Chains A and B, each alone.
Chain A
């Protein structure tokens, strides 16, 4: 298992506040990895850095066999290189149908000219993905009419449709019912069999069910890494995170 994503010595401050502080992190392919940490630890910022939404002040982010430097690529190019992202808030296109949402995401040429002039039918591929995320019977529904949990699945479906090599998932279980969480866990574990999946979560129970290697983030630094039991036993982790459950969900 070689590293697919290699983040080394990355820092990012906002107005003097260090959101990410000399962070190093790597994930292999295939691998399922969880990043946990209290609110404000810099989890979302980490994701922004990898996907090109924000640029680091220092450090490098390398990706793939060619060790492409992600800090110099546009968001769209990073996405086309095979990095998919699921936002914390479900962001699907409410005004469009499930099919349209999935079709946009399906791996295919992205240039305006090609998209305008070449129009192969993608409905079957979209249906296949919809099946995998349990939205097969809602394909003609507008995304805006779906329940919160279904929207999250649609977004996961859109990610799968992109066929990314690296999947970054921000708090997928937020706002889900217990049954929906279970379903989501299955989807993520399944997806991680063939690719790298990084799940950001502050819900310990959810992470436990993922049963994977965990990185604890705190004040922009990686505090500990290992199995969940291993990091839970780490006194520093207990101190900043587990010892103060009320701040974890604040």
Chain B
């Protein structure tokens, strides 16, 4: 669709509908290619024995974190809702899938042991044995109601998405309806996260208290498949989820929907007067991103092997915001860059990868000093590169010239200017 008009200078101005299918947009294409390159590259190197299984797992987990960061960027960078609770949704996804992994595997083991007995086991006996196996650590053998459907993979997979979605829907509805915004909303989400993790820490929460769910790297019935293969499956699944997430996110922030989101971020009152129900939009984004985080968590924790209440601690959600800020909020690849760079660096530093620095009088151990380094980088980025690492992309695209930020005070808004004819 093309139409032209002539401006006063005589030059023709063209209005072209430049919409391209989402898959063929430059940034999406570049992102998907890089993602494919990393995934295929890691697979080839792993098969050839050049990279370890734990590295493949680290890579797969990082992709899941990138998905969470992408969600965070949508909700914060684009819509302006600084949710400091989205990592809780990630954890819930992990718990949901972890319940099935633990249950099913325990059931297989229990049945195997019991059939060696004289009589075939009754279902009640099996259930009791599972209960003792799983909940023995918290001094109980009763199966909590939360585990009602733990034996069903499809249901637990659905819960990994629907439980975060439902919690976000109720929480968001209450908060947005009463127009809680800004710092108050951030505090509220932190409080919610804290409450959830404190509840999970209790032994009678039904989710094994501070032990959390463990042994999640072992897929039920697939004991004969080596971890080196399982890790590649999860790497591919994580890459697929991130790739899909990126396309969906890019589609969401494009067009009028994206305009409305950015409008809400910049001036939500104005958006209301344009006739958009701001609360509905916020709720949609809040809930949708919570579900995306649930998917990320469901893929992450089987690779991590364990999920416990510490994962859901308030600080985890703050990290998520820090990644997005360092990567550059308001641009999708920024969030991915931030999450990937910071979490990979973090495991390098805290995993003893970085050599200690001997200053003579003091030895800098990176395991202790990494957080200080992260904190300082956050401050530095905020001060000197407010667009984040993603902002460097502007240096070689020409977005710089069209997206200049501060235009200085608006002359016309000054009362004195009005008097001059």
Contacts and interface: CB of A to CB of B under 8 A. Distances in A.
A204 interface: no
Interface string B2-23: 0101011101010111010000
Contact of B15 (A91, A111, A116, A127): A127
Interface string B255-276: 1110110110011011111111
B7 A76 contact: no
A103 B256 contact: yes
Nearest to B407: A144
Interface stretch (A2-10, A118-126, A225-233): A118-126
Contact of B259 (A85, A100, A110, A249): A100
A105 interface: yes
A89 to B, nearest CB: 6
Interface string A46-69: 000001010000000000000000
Interface residues of A, number: 57
A77 B278 CA distance: 11
A119 B407 contact: no
B181 to A, nearest CB: 15
A174 B3 CA distance: 34
A145 B405 CA distance: 9
Contacts of A110: 275-277
Contacts of B284: 112-113, 116
B412 A112 contact: no
A194 interface: no
A130 B13 CA distance: 12
Contacts of B269: 53, 75
Nearest to B265: A95
B13 A137 contact: yes
A213 interface: no
B276 to A, nearest CB: 5
Given A79-B272, A94-B266, 18 more contacts: A76-B276, A80-B275, A93-B266, A101-B259, A104-B274, A108-B256, A112-B257, A119-B19, A121-B19, A127-B3, A127-B5, A136-B7, A136-B13, A137-B13, A144-B407, A145-B407, A158-B274, A249-B419
Nearest 5 A-B pairs (CB), nearest first? A148-B412, A137-B7, A175-B412, A79-B275, A75-B272
25 contacts: A53-B269, A85-B273, A91-B267, A91-B270, A95-B262, A99-B15, A101-B259, A103-B256, A104-B274, A105-B274, A110-B276, A110-B277, A111-B277, A116-B257, A119-B19, A119-B255, A119-B256, A123-B1, A137-B7, A137-B8, A139-B15, A148-B412, A148-B413, A174-B418, A175-B411
